[in-house]
Structure 1
Amino acid sequence: MSEAGTLTRADLAEALHREVGLSRSDSAQIVEQILEEMCEALSRGENVKISGFGTFVLRDKGERIGRNPKTGVEVPIAPRRVLTFRASQMMRDRIVAAGV
């Protein structure tokens, strides 16, 4: 990993290069294509499920009342769409086993 605790696109491309034997350029291009396809699917409102890893789910949150923590004044929070990630059971089991 590049930075402490962060996996980057470059790390993914390097792993693909190392494990599959593709050129670094081809590996980087494949990583970009996968991420682009995921982004396009999400922008169309589709969920993205990667078996054994998890699911990226779009959720619509309705309007609600929030509170400014400094002043205590209530303010409306506009409805919005949020992206959440749900890890698969297999991924959760691996994380627990690793003690993370």
Structure 2
Amino acid sequence: MSNTLTKADIVDTIHERMDMNRAEIKDHVEALLDIMKQAIKSDHSLLISGFGKFEAYDKDARKGRNPQTNETITLPPRKVVVFRLSRKFRGEINDQRE
């Protein structure tokens, strides 16, 4: 079973640490996520110092194969978002000090 942190978990954690009502916190979290989404859509990157960088890039159309029929198909071009950890956060995860 996975221990995935959800948006609701984030809201609950902030609610425990701050003197704000849950609905207000949820609105702030939603606003932050909207800002992040728009930054990635328009600028194709989002840098959060000490955490990491989200980058969007275009993948070209490519040939693929339907595994059930072995039919060759062309997969359309698409955008892909990748996340790269900051050096500082990577060190924290790996329990190293820089």
Indicate the TM-score class for this superposition, using the shorter chain for normalisation.
0.7 to 0.9
TM-score for the superposition, normalised by structure 2: 0.77
**In structure 2, distance between residues paired with 1:79 and 1:29:** 34
TM-score for the superposition, normalised by structure 1: 0.76
Matched residue count: 95
Displacement of 1:29 in angstroms is 1.6
Q: Partner of 2:94: helix, strand, or coil? A: helix
Give the residue type in structure 2 aligned to 1:78: P
Structure 2, unmatched stretches of 5+, are none
Partner of residue 80 from structure 2, selected from 79, 82, 95: 82
Displacement of 1:83 in angstroms is 1.4
Partner of residue 21 from structure 1, selected from 19, 22, 33: 19
Structure 1, unmatched stretches of 5+, are none
